[in-house]
Homo-oligomer: A and B are copies of this chain.
Amino acid sequence: MSPIRSIGLPEIKSVMSDIDLLEEMKSGFLAYSRGECVIPPVGELILDDPAPGEVHIKYGYIRGGDRYVIKIASGFPLNRELGIQSGNGMMLLFNQRTGELDTILHDEAYLTDVRTAAAGALASRTLAPSEVDVLGIVGTGVQAALQLEHASRALGCTNALVWGRTPERVDLFREQFAGRGVDVEAAADVASLADSCRVIITCTSATEPLIEADWVRPGTHITAVGSDTPEKQELDVSLLARADRVVVDSLEQGRLRGEVARALSSGAINETGIIELGALLGDPTLGRMTDDEITVADLTGVAVQDLKIAEAVLRAL
């Protein structure tokens, strides 16, 4: 058996600036929507004793590739009380010809966070109207900060509004961006954020809608990344019904998880007209047609993103 490479978080972080994350995500979504990937349904383990937690297992490969990935990511919200991070995870890369374990990326969920943010930025850039003066971020956690970082860069937007339930967290969030070239202001509420922002990214673990359909102005794009289970929801289903385009990373996953699953099961929308991000990236005529349209991208996270970022890290190392 070949030696197994075990790579820790500092080493992973040291090479991130060498990776064109949006290009990696783009090539992954293109391959996915061309049917070149084998990606089984997401494995899910729900815990409640002695503490609530959830574990997602995402796995798959690109046909004819070198490696398959098995990615394990967990969220244990009460970890904060113990002084440890709530998110955790690792990516395992296996030889696609032999099944031998090749590399363990002990990324502690960092790569999942980054690839999620990169996909959000990619979807936002692809569907944004031509002028975006202010970027709206709903949420104040790790993912919210990463979305702001990546999307502001992708959109060339230096003004942002942020909303969160807890004012102290909003303040901490704003402080993180001090001196980083993006002016971040606090929004009084989600409705006023929606009124001011032509791109809005939601990244919370909400289980009730945070954005109502009639708060959103024509010419707005919304990327929802928080909802990745059947239970979570950030957008009112009528907002998806009102949208001119609804885009998902994976239609197969979108039927089961996230905003689209909610909107489909409520009858607010049907599958006709839902487009995969990879299809849209391959054919821009499927995307936004005018600056007045409302577009929604619902991302639940696909294993091909994990494979792409993991292989990019290996190449960069």
Which of B44, B55, B97, B99 sits near A99, CB closer than 8 Å?
A: B55
A284 in contact (CB, < 8 A): no
Indicate whether A205 reaches chain B with its CB closer than 8 angstroms: no
Cα distance A107–B87 when bound, in Å? 27
| Nearest CB of chain B from residue A227's CB, rounded to whole Å | 20
Question: Does any Cβ of B come within 8 Å of A82's Cβ?
Answer: yes
Q: A99 — nearest CB in chain B belongs to which residue?
A: B74
Tell me the bound Cα distance from A56 to B40 in angstroms: 11
Main secondary structure, interface of A, reads strand
A100 and B72 within 8 A (CB): no
With a cutoff of 8 Å between Cβ atoms, the chain B residues found around residue A100 in the complex are 84, 88
B74 touches A72 (CB 8 A): no
Other A-B contacts than A38-B47, A57-B59, A79-B98, 12 sampled, CB-CB below 8 A, are A38-B45, A38-B46, A40-B44, A40-B45, A43-B57, A51-B98, A55-B68, A55-B94, A57-B57, A76-B98, A84-B98, A101-B106
Residues on A lying within 8 angstroms of B by beta carbon are 1, 4, 6, 38, 40, 43-47, 49-51, 53, 55, 57, 59-61, 63-64, 68, 70, 72, 74-76, 79, 82, 84, 88, 90, 92, 94, 96-101, 104, 106, 108
